[in-house]
A and B are shown apart, each in its own frame.
Chain A
Amino acid sequence: MSAPGPVDPSTPSAAPIATLPGRLRSSQSRALALVGALILALLFLFGGDGWVSVLDFTMVAAIAALGLNVLSGYAGQISLGIAFFMGIGAYTAAWLGGSPPQLPGDPAGLGLSVVIWLPASGIVAALIGALIGPTALRLKGFYLGIVTLALVFIGQYVFINARAITGGQEGRFNFPAPSIGDFSFANPNPIFGLQLTTNQCFFLLLLPLLALVAGFVANVARSRPGRAWQAVRDNETAAAIMGINLLEAKIGAFILSSFLAGIAGALYASLSGIATPGTWSLLLSIQFIAAILIGGVASVWGSILGAAFVFAIPTALNTFSLLPQNASSTGISSGDLSAIFYGLLIIVFLLFEPAGIIGLAGRIRAAQQRIEARRTRSEGGDTATSTTIPPTTTTSTAPTTSTTPTEMASSEREPQLDVERMDLMDRTRRADAPQ
């Protein structure tokens, strides 16, 4: 909470903040986070290499999902093109960091350090994103969606034909693994007496990276550009009238989004060690869209949860052999099954909870608060200031809009310009679907 403002001392400021989606303030949330961290640590240490690999890919996917959420969730620009930007990032990394060709037919590589290729993969993707950004100024809604769809196909054409870097149709096999000095993530390494596998090494690299990216996106979303994006999303014309530079806002969103997608693409290729042009397909883009819709649009935690949901399910199905017994004979693969899952979930979530899993969590929290409020009232205390919920709204539940107690409470109070409170209202709006 950086915005300084005249805070009304009677405002129960702690309670409304706890209702905000994606923030860890209440003790339950902290407990949940602790449990989550514990599960992560257990999987990391004892889950076996398969699960660590799933975690790695999920974290990479989460970075890309955060990128897509910046563009589609916060700024409201429809994009089917994230696979294209991931491909750009992957091949930039391959070209800069890949080992120099040994045989005449080998794809090109400069063999530079990870310190160069990882940021560069994001920067090159961001530059191309900046070129696409102005298109979004002229094209809106469906039209932008179709142009970004075209990007994916154009990308496939370019990737197939730029044989020197991408390896053409057959794909490229040598992607650089991050290495710092003697410590290479491509080999098993002993750390503090623990013999770590490649996947575990990557885990140690990816977890802080994801935390960094998530923190960055969360902070940008709360800062001036982030607010501008949300204003553009909610009503473009109104935003322009309020003095927001639409070009600046849209290009900014495209740049950050493509940067993250590029980094994620580079990490993905580095992790899997192989990528064909077919890797960066429309399906991949759709999977990321599913991830942010299921997890939560315009929410940092939503991106991460959604990515985990969409990208970990096929592996989980395989690992625990949850497929029907006769699956192999009828041709149902884990990929198909999870596609049915997320296809259905996209529709269900959009119909009933546009704010995704995070929205569900917010609803549960709001319900808890309602119950608590009712209890305090029945105990016969002074309800005027200690309760945030006016009695008339306690029984009414709004099914489609995710109105939280904060919003009800602030509309109930006397109209007064209060920076702090506007800030809160603004943030609760985020939980709603982009307008």
Chain B
Amino acid sequence: MTLFIQLMFSGLALGSDYALIAIGFTIIYKASEVINFAQGEFLLVGTFVVSTAVFSWRLSFVPALLLGMGVTALIGVLFERVVLRRMIGRPPFTIIMVTIGLDVLLLTAVTILVGDKSPGAPAPFDIVSAITVGGVKFGVNALASIVITVLICAALYAFLRFTRYGLAMRATAIDQEAARAMGMRISTVYALAWGISGAVATIGGVFLAAGAGNPVFDVGLGQGALVAFPAIILGGLDSIPGAVVGGVVIGLVYVLTQGYEASGFLGVNFHTISPYLVMILVLLIRPYGLFGARKVERI
């Protein structure tokens, strides 16, 4: 039972990281119908910047985090402005491929910068500190990631619900042309979407790296974040609450299979594919995800 509670907690913490990553995908998709395959490397770049700021430039955690968020937000906005703006109206195939191109670029850039060193994992609290209650270890960073996720969701909700730009984003998501006709600036909405998504990716990346419990991280961090794909598929690409639910579910599935696979009959590393299996199952039954809207096809 202790093991179960422990796993549920870890799953929740990991799930909140995935939820953050999934929100990043969803915001962009809602605004511009683009799936950003480079989102994983946004995480990597952001975390790398924060790590460099904390360990090389001796900044304290919060300014470093803000710096990292700024860098990824800037990369996102620039990419949207310089590349994706010219690709409006192209088929999804082309758009996926161009984000894959960005993915390769970012990954290679970080790989070269990292070299053969192992960058330290930046974290708000000491990486091993934990509160133990009744035999269950609650990692402080894990608790922080849950709290931060809840805060970000609340802030995002407030932003989308109560501000002018939030209203513009929602309107654009529903009908781009109508929103434009009402005088909303689509380019501002796109820039906002990519900026928010990039910033959130850095937070997700930092907590993903810290949550692994290692004092260092490697360039595989971005690929690990691809597990957020099952999360967004589960929730449907265009639903932010869906992304959060999907993220938490996938986090739980991942950690629970990891915890119980020691019994052995599922083989080595089963937890790395369990989220994908869940995703394929869901997709075969509901091709647009659990919360996603079915598209009307027009010729």
Contact = CB atoms under 8 A, between A and B. Distances in A.
Interface of A: 72, 76, 78, 135, 138-139, 141-143, 145-147, 149-150, 153-154, 156-157, 160-161, 169, 235-238, 241, 282, 286, 289-290, 293, 330-332, 336, 339-340, 342-347, 350-351, 354, 433-435
B102 A347 contact: yes
A149 to B, nearest CB: 7
Given A150-B279, A350-B98, A351-B86, A143 B287 contact: yes
Contact of A435 (B91, B102, B280, B284): B91
A138 B282 CA distance: 12
B100 A286 contact: yes
B94 interface: yes
Contact of A147 (B105, B108, B283): B283
Contact of A154 (B35, B104, B268, B276): B276
Contacts of B91: 76, 433-435
Give the size category of B's interface with A. Answer: 35 or more
B58 interface: no
Nearest to A142: B35
Interface string B61-86: 00000000000000000000001001
B97 interface: yes
B129 interface: no
A154 B277 contact: yes
B229 A433 contact: no
Contacts of A290: 101, 104
> Which 8 A-B residue pairings sit nearest by Cβ, starting from the closest?
A331-B115, A346-B101, A343-B104, A150-B276, A161-B267, A343-B105, A141-B92, A347-B101
B87 interface: yes
Contacts of B279: 146-147, 150
Contacts of B111: 336
B96 interface: yes
A344 B94 contact: no
Contact of A157 (B97, B107, B270): B270
A76 B93 contact: yes
A157 B267 contact: yes
B187 interface: no
9 contacts: A78-B92, A143-B288, A146-B35, A150-B229, A153-B272, A235-B299, A236-B297, A340-B105, A433-B94
A156 B270 CA distance: 10
Contacts of B269: 157, 160-161
Contact of B233 (A78, A146, A289): A146
A237 B297 CA distance: 8
A142 B237 contact: yes
Which of A72, A141, A157, A286 has the most chain B CB atoms closer than 10 A to its own CB? A157
A139 B87 contact: no
B299 A238 contact: yes
Given A142-B96, A238-B299, A342 B104 contact: yes
A154 B83 CA distance: 32
Contact of B112 (A135, A236, A332, A350): A332
A70 B270 CA distance: 32
A423 B135 CA distance: 74
Contacts of B273: 150, 153-154, 157
Contacts of A161: 267-269
Contacts of B114: 331
Nearest to B34: A142
Nearest to A339: B108
B237 A160 contact: no
Contact of B100 (A154, A169, A346): A346
Nearest to B297: A237
Given A138-B284, A153-B272, A290-B104, A237 B299 contact: yes
Interface string B259-296: 00000000111101100110110011001100000000
Nearest to A343: B104
Contacts of B270: 157
Given A142-B237, A241-B299, A343-B101, 9 more contacts: A143-B283, A146-B35, A147-B283, A169-B268, A237-B297, A290-B101, A343-B102, A350-B87, A351-B83
A371 to B, nearest CB: 29
A330 B116 CA distance: 9
A157 B274 CA distance: 10
Given A72-B93, A143-B233, A346-B101, A149 B226 contact: yes
Interface string B196-235: 0000000000000000000000000001001001100100
Given A150-B276, A160-B268, A235-B299, A339 B223 contact: no
B108 A336 contact: yes
Contacts of B268: 157, 160-161, 169
B166 to A, nearest CB: 25
A350 B288 CA distance: 27
Contact of B93 (A236, A344, A433): A433
A354 B94 contact: yes
A148 to B, nearest CB: 11
A146 B284 CA distance: 13
B178 interface: no
B283 to A, nearest CB: 6
A73 to B, nearest CB: 9
Interface string B36-75: 0100000000000000000000000000000000000000
A369 to B, nearest CB: 27
Contacts of B104: 286, 290, 339-340, 342-343, 346
Given A147-B280, A150-B279, A434-B93, A157 B108 contact: no
Contacts of B288: 143
Interface in B232-252: 233, 237
A419 B299 CA distance: 25
B83 A340 contact: no
Contacts of B277: 154
A260 to B, nearest CB: 19
A282 B94 CA distance: 18
A157 B277 CA distance: 12
B94 to A, nearest CB: 5
B83 to A, nearest CB: 6
Which of A138, A156, A343 has the most chain B CB atoms closer than 10 A to its own CB? A343
B101 A344 contact: yes
Contacts of A72: 93
Contacts of A237: 297-299
